[in-house]
Structure 1
Amino acid sequence: MMMLLVPLLVISILKCTISTGIVCPDQCTCNKSSNIEDYANHFHSKQPVAVHCLLGGLKDKNFAKLVQRLPSGTTTLWVVGSEINPNNFSMSEEFIRLNQLQHLHLIRCGLYSLGKRVLVKMKNLNTLHLEENLISHIGPDTFDNTEQLQKLVLRNNNLPLDALPTGSFAYLKSLQILDLSYNKKRGPFAANIFSGLINLRQLALDGDLLMQQDWRAFDDLPNIEKLLLHNCEISSSPPEYALRKNIRLKHLDLSANALTSTDLGYLIGRLPAIEELNISKNRRLLTELTAGAFAHARLKSLNLAGNGLGQLTNASSYQQQHHSALMTLLNGSRLEQINLCNNGFQQFQSSMLVSSQKTISKLSLCGNQLRFVDDQMTKDMYKLNLLDLSDNRIETLPIHLPSQFSNLVLLNLSGNAISTLHPEHMHSLKKLKVLDISRCKLTQLPGYMLDLTNSFDQIYLHDNPWSCRCEVGPLKKFLQKNKHKHSLRQVQCITPKDMQGLSVISIDEQNSNCILGHAQQSTRLKSKSSLFVIIIGMTLIVLLVNVTIVILCIYNRPNGTYRTHEENDERCHILDLPVSQTAVVKSLSPKSKQLLSDNSVTL
Structure 2
Amino acid sequence: MLCSESLATLLCIIALGYTSARDYKCAFEGSQQCVFRGVQLKSADQLASNTFSSSGTAPRNVKFASSTMAVVPTAVFQQFPNVEQLDSSFSGIKTLMGDTFAEANNLRELNLTGNKIPSLPNNLFNGAKKITTLDFSQNDISEIQESTFTGLNQLRVLKLDNNQIATLPAAVFNPLTSLEALDLQRNMLSKIDDSLLASCTSLISLNASHNVLQKFETKQFLREWSVDAIDVSFNRLKAISIPKNLRKLVASNNQIQSVQVLGKEPSLIFLRLSHNKLTSADQIPSFNKLVTLDLSHNQIESFDFGSVSKFRNLILLKLDGNRLTTVSNSLVSDVTYLKYVHLAHNQLTRLDMETLRTLPRILKLDLGYNKLTQLDAKHISDRFPVLVRLVLTGNDFQCDKIADLVKELKYAITEYKTTADQCKTGQRLVGGICCS
TM-score (ref. length: structure 2)? 0.60
Q: 1:379 to 1:78 in 2, by over 3 A?
A: farther
What is the distance in 2 between the residues matched to 1:388 and 1:153?
41
| Pair 1:152-2:193 in alignment | no
Among 43, 51, 54, the residue aligned to 2:111: 51
Aligned residue in 1 for 2:245: 199
Residue 198 of structure 1 deviates from its aligned partner by 3.5
The 5 Å alignment of 1:175-214 reads 175-186=227-238, 194=242, 197-211=243-257, 214=258
| Contact 1:129/1:153, CA 8 A, preserved across alignment | yes
Gaps of 5+ in 2: 1-26, 35-53, 65-71, 77-84, 92-105, 398-405, 424-430, 432-436
| Pair 1:327-2:353 in alignment | yes
Aligned residue in 2 for 1:229: 273
Among 381, 402, 412, the residue aligned to 1:380: 412
Cα shift readout 1:266-320 (whole Å, capped 9, x = no counterpart): 322333222221111121x2x22325879743311112222256xxxxxxxxxxx
TM-score (ref. length: structure 1)? 0.45
What is the distance in 2 between the residues matched to 1:134 and 1:306?
33
| Contact 1:99/1:122, CA 8 A, preserved across alignment | yes
Cα shift readout 1:369-423 (whole Å, capped 9, x = no counterpart): 99xxx998774327x7xx99799549xxxxxxx9xxxxxxxxxxxxxxxxxxxxx
Among 145, 166, 169, the residue aligned to 1:112: 166
What is the distance in 2 between the residues matched to 1:67 and 1:353?
67
| Amino acid across the alignment from 1:273 | N
| Contact 2:126/2:151, CA 8 A, preserved across alignment | no
| Amino acid across the alignment from 1:127 | A
Cα shift readout 1:472-493 (whole Å, capped 9, x = no counterpart): xxxxxxxxxxxxxxxxxxxxxx
Query: What is the count of residue pairs matched by the alignment?
Result: 333
C-alpha RMSD of the superposition: 4.8
Residue 132 of structure 1 deviates from its aligned partner by 1.9
Cα shift readout 1:538-573 (whole Å, capped 9, x = no counterpart): xxxxxxxxxxxxxxxxxxxxxxxxxxxxxxxxxxxx
What is the distance in 2 between the residues matched to 1:258 and 1:17?
53
Q: Larger Cα Rg: Structure 1 or Structure 2?
A: 1
| Contact 2:380/2:408, CA 8 A, preserved across alignment | no
Aligned residue in 1 for 2:17: none
Q: 1:98 to 1:375 in 2, by over 3 A?
A: farther
Among 317, 333, 346, the residue aligned to 1:277: 317
Residue 335 of structure 1 deviates from its aligned partner by 0.7
What is the distance in 1 between the residues matched to 2:262 and 2:144?
31
What is the distance in 2 between the residues matched to 1:305 and 1:14?
57
| Amino acid across the alignment from 1:200 | L
The 5 Å alignment of 1:38-437 reads 49=109, 51=111, 53=113, 55-60=114-119, 63=120, 68=125, 74-81=131-138, 87-92=140-145, 93-161=147-215, 167-170=219-222, 174-186=226-238, 194=242, 197-211=243-257, 214-217=258-261, 222-236=266-280, 238=282, 243-244=285-286, 246-261=287-302, 263-283=303-323, 285=324, 287-290=325-328, 296-297=334-335, 298-307=337-346, 322=350, 325=351, 327-333=353-359, 334-343=361-370, 357-361=384-388, 379-381=411-413, 393=422
SS in 1 for 2:304: helix
Aligned residue in 2 for 1:478: none
| Contact 1:368/1:392, CA 8 A, preserved across alignment | no
What is the distance in 1 between the residues matched to 2:164 and 2:420?
39
Identity of counterpart residues, as a percentage?
A: 19
SS in 1 for 2:148: helix
| Contact 1:126/1:149, CA 8 A, preserved across alignment | yes
What is the distance in 2 between the residues matched to 1:326 and 1:219?
39
Residue 139 of structure 1 deviates from its aligned partner by 2.9
| Contact 1:180/1:205, CA 8 A, preserved across alignment | yes
Q: 1:330 to 1:156 in 2, by over 3 A?
A: same
Residue 70 of structure 1 deviates from its aligned partner by 11
Residue 206 of structure 1 deviates from its aligned partner by 2.0
Aligned residue in 1 for 2:38: none
| Contact 2:61/2:86, CA 8 A, preserved across alignment | no
Residue 112 of structure 1 deviates from its aligned partner by 1.8
What is the distance in 1 between the residues matched to 2:264 and 2:389?
35
Among 76, 86, 90, the residue aligned to 1:24: 86
What is the distance in 2 between the residues matched to 1:388 and 1:78?
49
Higher helix share: 1
What is the distance in 2 between the residues matched to 1:59 and 1:342?
48
| Contact 2:353/2:376, CA 8 A, preserved across alignment | no
Q: 1:96 to 1:15 in 2, by over 3 A?
A: closer
Residue 364 of structure 1 deviates from its aligned partner by 5.9
| Contact 1:206/1:230, CA 8 A, preserved across alignment | yes
Residue 142 of structure 1 deviates from its aligned partner by 1.5
What is the distance in 2 between the residues matched to 1:356 and 1:104?
52
Which deviates further from its counterpart, 350-359 or 121-130? 350-359
Higher strand share: 2
| Contact 1:367/1:390, CA 8 A, preserved across alignment | no
What is the distance in 1 between the residues matched to 2:409 and 2:123?
59
Residue 111 of structure 1 deviates from its aligned partner by 1.3
What is the distance in 2 between the residues matched to 1:368 and 1:56?
51
Aligned residue in 1 for 2:51: none
What is the distance in 2 between the residues matched to 1:326 and 1:52?
59
| Contact 1:111/1:133, CA 8 A, preserved across alignment | yes
Cα shift readout 1:97-120 (whole Å, capped 9, x = no counterpart): 443332222212111233232222
What is the distance in 1 between the residues matched to 2:158 and 2:230?
15
SS in 1 for 2:296: coil
| Amino acid across the alignment from 1:335 | I
| Amino acid across the alignment from 1:179 | D
Residue 343 of structure 1 deviates from its aligned partner by 4.8
Q: 1:59 to 1:343 in 2, by over 3 A?
A: same
Q: 1:120 to 1:288 in 2, by over 3 A?
A: same
| Contact 2:62/2:87, CA 8 A, preserved across alignment | no
Q: 1:266 to 1:118 in 2, by over 3 A?
A: same
